[in-house]
Amino acid sequence: MEFLDHAFMQRALLAAVLVGVTAPAVGIHLVQRRQALMGDGIGHVAMTGVGLGFLMSANPVWVAGLVSIAGAVLMELIRMYGRTRGDIALALLFYGGMAGGVLLTSLSPDGSNANLVSYLFGSLATVSQEDVVAICVLAAFVLAVSLGLRRQLFAVSQDEEFARVTGLPVRALNLLVAVTAAVTVTVAMRVVGLLLVSALMVVPVAAAQQLTRSFRATFAVAVLIGTAVTLAGTVTTYYQDVPPGATIVLLAIAVFVVFTALAAPLARRRARTAGAATGAYDGVRPSPGTADDVKV
């Protein structure tokens, strides 16, 4: 445990834990509404923010946060109001964000593209005291939203039309999810990097749902997986000279593979228990006509 003696390592571990908790906590809402790649899109837009930060000699974390919030809100508005060409608009936003980041960085006096790379793939060793403060504040906001409003967000992501008829402020909640996702991207960019942020929002959730039956359990297991892989990945980078973001993401994918392998035997056992309880289920679908309604 000698790695705990170093201040940079303490900062890195704190940042990693916060990311491990917040990314899946927001990601589960995105996965539920089948927008798993939204984090990736925001990550691209955030690159422009990082470049702008270099150019203005401001802390790139805050500037990237503001730019990604603007980008996420724009994406959500396109989704709400744009009908047919929404995908094209999103593509423009993604690539525009990336190109803007590279261009602004090269224009700035003290920013080089090598500097940008540390934001693209994460660079834990360079996390500063200031960064840690920013990450803590942003993580607190993300957790307040994704935990505090989990019932409301569940309803909106589950069935938007129904949620509107319950009188929930659906539009405001959708925008809040977009803002929260953008903030999470900003929190995570120093740890896993902008290009891999989305993985940490999606992969722990995908792994968890191989074994879970409820939203609640999926949430809890995903956050546990997220925390475990970010911690393990960070400690690995102390002993081995490997990039943290890539290590963390590959660990998360390894968990996904293991959980998927465990899923089939578990499902069989559950079916047997359920069959014993009701005495009727023999695994045959009642009518072929309804087969496509059974599962999405």
Partner 1 sequence: MSSEPVISVRAATATLGSRPVLRGVDLAVRRGEVVALLGANGSGKSTAVRSVIGQVPLTGGTVSLFGTDLRRFRDWARVGYVPQRTTAASGVPATVREVVSSGRLSRTKLRRPSRADRAAVDRAIELVGLADRAKDSVWALSGGQHQRVLIARALASEPELLIMDEPMAGVDLASQEVLAATLREQVAAGTTVLLVLHELGPLEPLIDRAVVLRDGCVVHDGPPPEAVGQHALPGHDHVHPHAADEPLRTGLLT
- Per CB under 8 A, residues contacting partner 1 are 28, 31-34, 36, 149, 151-152, 154-155, 157-159, 161-168, 205, 209, 212-218, 274, 277-278, 285-287, 289-290, 292-296
Query: Are the C-beta atoms of residues 66 and 56 closer than 8 Å to each other?
Result: no
Looking at beta carbons only, is 1 or 165 nearer to partner 1? 165
Looking at beta carbons only, is 104 or 155 nearer to partner 1? 155
Looking at beta carbons only, is 95 or 162 nearer to partner 1? 162
Beta carbon of residue 293, minimum distance to partner 1 (angstroms, whole number): 3
CB atoms within 10 A of CB 296: 5
Beta carbon of residue 265, minimum distance to partner 1 (angstroms, whole number): 16
Looking at beta carbons only, is 163 or 191 nearer to partner 1? 163
What is the rounded distance in angstroms from the CA atom of residue 114 to the CA atom of residue 202? 27
Nearest to residue 219, comparing CAs of 141, 138, 157?
157
Contacts of 99 (CB under 8 A, 6+ apart): none
Beta carbon of residue 35, minimum distance to partner 1 (angstroms, whole number): 9
- Written as one string, the DSSP assignment of 27-43 is HHHHHHTT-TTHHHHHH
CB atoms within 10 A of CB 227: 19
Looking at beta carbons only, is 137 or 264 nearer to partner 1? 264
Taking each helix axis as running N to C, give the angle between helix 197-208 and helix 7-32, from 0 to 180 degrees, rounded to the nearest 10. Answer: 60
Beta carbon of residue 237, minimum distance to partner 1 (angstroms, whole number): 31
Beta carbon of residue 168, minimum distance to partner 1 (angstroms, whole number): 6
